[in-house]
Amino acid sequence: MTDPDPAAWFPTDYVSSRARFRADCERSRSSPDDYRRAWKVSSNVDQDLTIDHARFARGGDRLLVVQSGIHGSEAQSGAAVEAFVMNNHLPALLAKGIDVAFIHSLNPYGFKYGRRTDEFNVNLNRNFSADGSVFKTVNADYRALRNVFEPSGQVRNVAIASLVEDLVFFDGFAESGFKSKALMDGLDNGQYEFPRGLNYGGTRPREQTRFLREEIGPLLAKPYKKVWFLDYHSGLGDDGVLSIILGLKPAAGPLDELTKMFGGQAKNGIVIKTATSPGFFATFGDVIDFVPGLARDPDSTLAVTMEYGTLGTDALSQLKSATRMILENQAHFNGCATPEILQRVTADFRELFNPSDLGWRGKILREADLVFRTLLEQF
Ligand SMILES: [Zn+2]
């Protein structure tokens, strides 16, 4: 088939994406068991932020949950997948006994304002913890490298921005004995000490935990034979490749099934990864490690990250992506010396997570199509 047309599916912004989601849901409703709801997210700056979610059921014995936008700057591709699936695959899935739930933009603030985090600089995907223990985590690598991750003062010029990439990181960490693993783990794993820092996980569960418990928990508690929770992201991994990333302890049965379905799909751009795969990393407080605990039977429940790669997994790509995240955070808290610098920092950050390249967008829709065709036949 030819690739789906990205213009038909990729949203331009949060408000229009939400309107489309609502309209698609209303059109797809055909059973009294179907619903769409809007869950208001509290905010100091914007009273129109909602997590919109919907459930479509025909008394199926299996459930798929598709979630987008836990990282706001990554919300577009997930929302595009949701729209594409709702319009192309939902009726067939329902007819085969697979109920489907969609969560549009778990982090509406981040989607609307172009940040990965929520309004309070919390990376929601470092904030999920069944027992609260994650908030006591100490990330020693982050502490040690904090001056690199949180430069002081305004972002002064873009020449320095690219120098940061080339010098501070590449030569700096190579020559000073830092291991790239310490750098990337420090940056990416999550940290709970520095509220203006990167990948800050907060001090207590944000309200999205309550949302999942109250709104999605009852679905996961139903006696489904099996449940898969697909959490859509972008930015990590090889350009245009869909990495299905496993949580810390995936249940053996569903993992086996996932491997049979997607283990041999590298030629089609789909690979299975874990935290220890080169270029990937472990995370504290990840939603995919939290969700199975809400299920009636965690052993028949699988939650995975569905991550569309943009730059690549080689060292230079990792450093580039780290630099863009650091500069965006610095610009957010400290500002930029000129509007041109702000524009460049914002554009680089946006392209890291939501490439405007139509080839990339077409490819990820093709992969989404393949994923849901496969699920239709084999789930
Ligand atoms: Zn993400």
Question: How close is the Cα of 237 to the center of ligand 1, in Å?
Answer: 11
Question: How close is the Cα of 318 to the center of ligand 1, in Å?
Answer: 14
Question: How close is the Cα of 77 to the center of ligand 1, in Å?
Answer: 11
- Do 225 and 291 fall into the same domain? yes
Write down the pLDDT at residue 168: 52
* 89 within a domain of the structure (yes/no): yes
Ion ligand 1 — residues with CB < 5 Å: 71, 74, 233
- Do 226 and 288 fall into the same domain? yes
* 232 within a domain of the structure (yes/no): yes
Write down the pLDDT at residue 1: 60
- Do 155 and 246 fall into the same domain? no
- Do 293 and 320 fall into the same domain? no
**Helix H or strand E segment including 80:** helix 75-88
Write down the pLDDT at residue 162: 55
* 194 within a domain of the structure (yes/no): no
Report yes or no: 76 and 354 within 8 Å, Cβ to Cβ. Answer: yes
| pLDDT, average across residues 224-239 | 96
Which residue do the tokens 């004995």 mark?
177
* 135 within a domain of the structure (yes/no): no
Tokens of 259: 């491997």
Provide the domain limits for residue 342. Answer: 140-188+314-353
State which amino acid sits at residue 136. K
| pLDDT, average across residues 282-291 | 95
Question: How close is the Cα of 167 to the center of ligand 1, in Å?
Answer: 26
- Do 35 and 106 fall into the same domain? yes
Write down the pLDDT at residue 159: 57
- Do 218 and 336 fall into the same domain? no
Polymer length in residues for the chain: 379
Report yes or no: 8 and 87 within 8 Å, Cβ to Cβ. Answer: no
- Do 47 and 161 fall into the same domain? no
Concatenated DSSP letters of 213-262: IIIIHHHHTS--SEEEEEEEEESSSSTT-EEEEE-SS--HHHHHHHHHHH
- Do 232 and 108 fall into the same domain? yes
Give the C-alpha separation, 379 to 293, whole Å.
21
* 196 within a domain of the structure (yes/no): no
* DSSP 8-state code for residue 165: I
* 305 within a domain of the structure (yes/no): yes
Tokens of 5: 């047309």
Question: How close is the Cα of 33 to the center of ligand 1, in Å?
Answer: 31
The per-residue pLDDT for range 325-376, each reduced to its tens digit, is 999 999 999 999 999 999 999 999 999 999 999 999 999 999 999 999 999 9
- Do 346 and 364 fall into the same domain? no
* Spatial CA neighbour of 86 closest among 372, 379, 378, 375: 372
- Do 13 and 44 fall into the same domain? yes
Give the C-alpha separation, 136 to 105, whole Å.
28
Question: How close is the Cα of 76 to the center of ligand 1, in Å?
Answer: 12
Write down the pLDDT at residue 93: 98
Domain containing residue 87: CATH number: 3.40.630.10
- Do 372 and 281 fall into the same domain? yes
Q: 3-state class of 54 per DSSP?
A: strand
**What's this model's pTM, rounded to 2 decimal places?**
0.95
Report yes or no: 287 and 209 within 8 Å, Cβ to Cβ. Answer: no
What is the pLDDT of the chain when averaged over all its residues? Answer: 93
Question: How close is the Cα of 289 to the center of ligand 1, in Å?
Answer: 14
| pLDDT, average across residues 80-86 | 98
Environment class of residue 255 by beta-carbon count within 10 Å: exposed (0-12), middle (13-18) or buried (19+)? Answer: middle
* 193 within a domain of the structure (yes/no): no
- Do 297 and 335 fall into the same domain? no
Question: Above 80 in pLDDT, residue 106?
Answer: yes
Write down the pLDDT at residue 201: 98
The per-residue pLDDT for range 341-352, each reduced to its tens digit, is 999 999 999 999
Report yes or no: 39 and 211 within 8 Å, Cβ to Cβ. Answer: yes
Structural domain total, the chain: 2
Pairing of strands 35-40, 62-68: unpaired
The per-residue pLDDT for range 160-171, each reduced to its tens digit, is 455 555 545 555
Question: How close is the Cα of 242 to the center of ligand 1, in Å?
Answer: 13
